[in-house]
Structure 1
């Protein structure tokens, strides 16, 4: 039996008063650029950042790791909502950033951190029962940037959860913090992986099903509206559930058995609940009389990927590389 498993490496009330400006980064960012204002639009909201932020707050893991990837840990006044293990390459820098809350901070907790910039990849961070709406923060002089992959207005979402949107986000953040060179380098590094994956895509007809978790025993699989669809296509395969118009949706084990995908991708969650880990999922698949007969299970075509890499983030490229490597190997075994 061979399962490809990689470690988790490389997600209140409005503020009543205006918000006012650390830690060690790895790699270190360039010194702040000129204090010229940067103006951009984030999910329909115009933002002006008058100078490179010195006290940024990130409201969930994806935003946190992107800033750390840009070497900006020493310009972060706080972070929140860790949903998975931090990538090892960011662990030291992350440990130096104050954690404001286990999940989203309240408006009061955010105010106490005195941020000059707020960033999240999740619209839920800016709900009334979290830190408050972005427009309210902007009115108080605190620009609040939201990932284009999760805009408050669904009409503003991109047609595809892909790397072009992520690269634009990296470029935006690099400009805001005056580290354009590092942003361009990060984009180039990830583009190189995309190019390698495209060149290596197997000439084989492989279907992939992504299993995230279960709800009352029913499996949650990736439909056609999320990042797994994009990753599957880029790696040269097909999504066994691409007829389902959702990012993630409930199905049945019988439906999976009927489609009998060639490959199963198992989300590896680190929150500690029963059935969350990829190892737990594999054990369940092998123990059940129906799923034990799936082609992917019998042929050991199981690919474990950290759950946090399955949402658009700076680590999504790692999920793509892992899936691509597995598909190339599986296709070679059939040749």
Structure 2
């Protein structure tokens, strides 16, 4: 990782009593985030997360006391993080404005979504850095799409765990979290050996009635392969893309994985999707619908995050169950 000019942290002039004291040992962290070099001369104590994935990453590492703000839930917070989440101030229902962000006086800003750093949101990361507020962005959604790896995998997630744990000087927590998730990966890999490559379609939502499915360039593709199955839309070069119900019917997958969104729009919940699939004269004839081989997974877990391992585990368990019922 390249060394860069030192960034002076705002934590030197403000630190809440509830947050841990800054690290005075002289320890520093240097890393690159989506092409932007960052240097940390002190452990941040006033972090702001801009969306759910970043928030839950911080909470999974036990860093709630280092947070002074959060925003933009797309799904229900995982139960294991709910208590800690309630202690963090919510700055905005969606992305905060630049003014709302600066009002929280952060010394670190973090998002897994590039859209958080748009001019009409909190502003560009380079601008924040110039204001001495380093901003970290996940490698799965860089501002420059060409910087994003086509293969979304758990190694990227683990690298991000390591980065955040390094920034906050809790490397041991990061190592423990990765070790726990690697155990799940080992279990899934073992279970996959007994499966016969069933075809799966991931359905996220619909736009004007057209289904949005997972293609071959994202984490769902990786999870499909790890779990011992095949993506029926692996010929589509996209993470998520629009298709038609006729196309899904022609491919007639053996299993449907349905995103369970809790934002409240019609058709968002997995149950809404199941009811629609069963009621439609075309989709009701799909093998997965006839045989009730449909798997509900929280939408948050389908994007790269600390919770993606749960999606993989849910998919693997369902495939093993379906295989046993044959």
Question: Structure 2 length normalisation: TM-score?
Answer: 0.93
Residue equivalent to 2:4: none
Shift of 1:50: 1.1
Residues 140 and 148, structure 2, Cα contact 8 Å, conserved in 1:
yes
Residue equivalent to 2:245: 253
Matched, 1:231 2:232: no
Residue equivalent to 2:182: 191
Give 3-state SS (helix, strand or coil) of 1:328's partner: helix
Question: Structure 1 length normalisation: TM-score?
Answer: 0.90
Shift of 1:33: 8.4
- Name the Cα RMSD after superposition: 1.8
Residue equivalent to 1:11: none
Stretches (4+) displaced over 6 A: 22-25
Residue equivalent to 2:156: 165
Residues 22 and 44, structure 2, Cα contact 8 Å, conserved in 1:
no
Shift of 1:152: 0.8
Q: For 1:266 and 1:33, how far apart are their aligned partners in 2? A: 48
Matched, 1:89 2:86: no
Residues 22 and 74, structure 1, Cα contact 8 Å, conserved in 2:
no
Residues 22 and 43, structure 2, Cα contact 8 Å, conserved in 1:
no
Residue equivalent to 1:276: 268
Alignment of 1:82-161 (within 5 A): 82-161=73-152
Alignment of 1:1-335 (within 5 A): 21=15, 34-201=25-192, 202-334=194-326
Which structure has more relative contact order (CA 8 Å, sep 6+)? It is 1
Shift of 1:32: 5.6
Q: For 1:84 and 1:34, how far apart are their aligned partners in 2? A: 39
Residue equivalent to 1:10: none
Structure 2: 5+ residue stretches without partners: 1-8
Structure 1: 5+ residue stretches without partners: 1-17
Provide, for residues 19-61 of structure 1, a one-character-per-residue CA deviation record: whole Å limited to 9, x for no partner. Answer: 6636989xxx999684411111111111011111100000000
Residue equivalent to 1:14: none
Residues 23 and 73, structure 1, Cα contact 8 Å, conserved in 2:
no
Give 3-state SS (helix, strand or coil) of 1:74's partner: helix
Shift of 1:274: 1.1
Q: For 1:132 and 1:167, how far apart are their aligned partners in 2? A: 27
Give 3-state SS (helix, strand or coil) of 2:121's partner: coil
- Distance change >3 Å, CA 33–CA 72, structure 1 → 2: farther
Shift of 1:159: 3.1
- Distance change >3 Å, CA 290–CA 109, structure 1 → 2: same
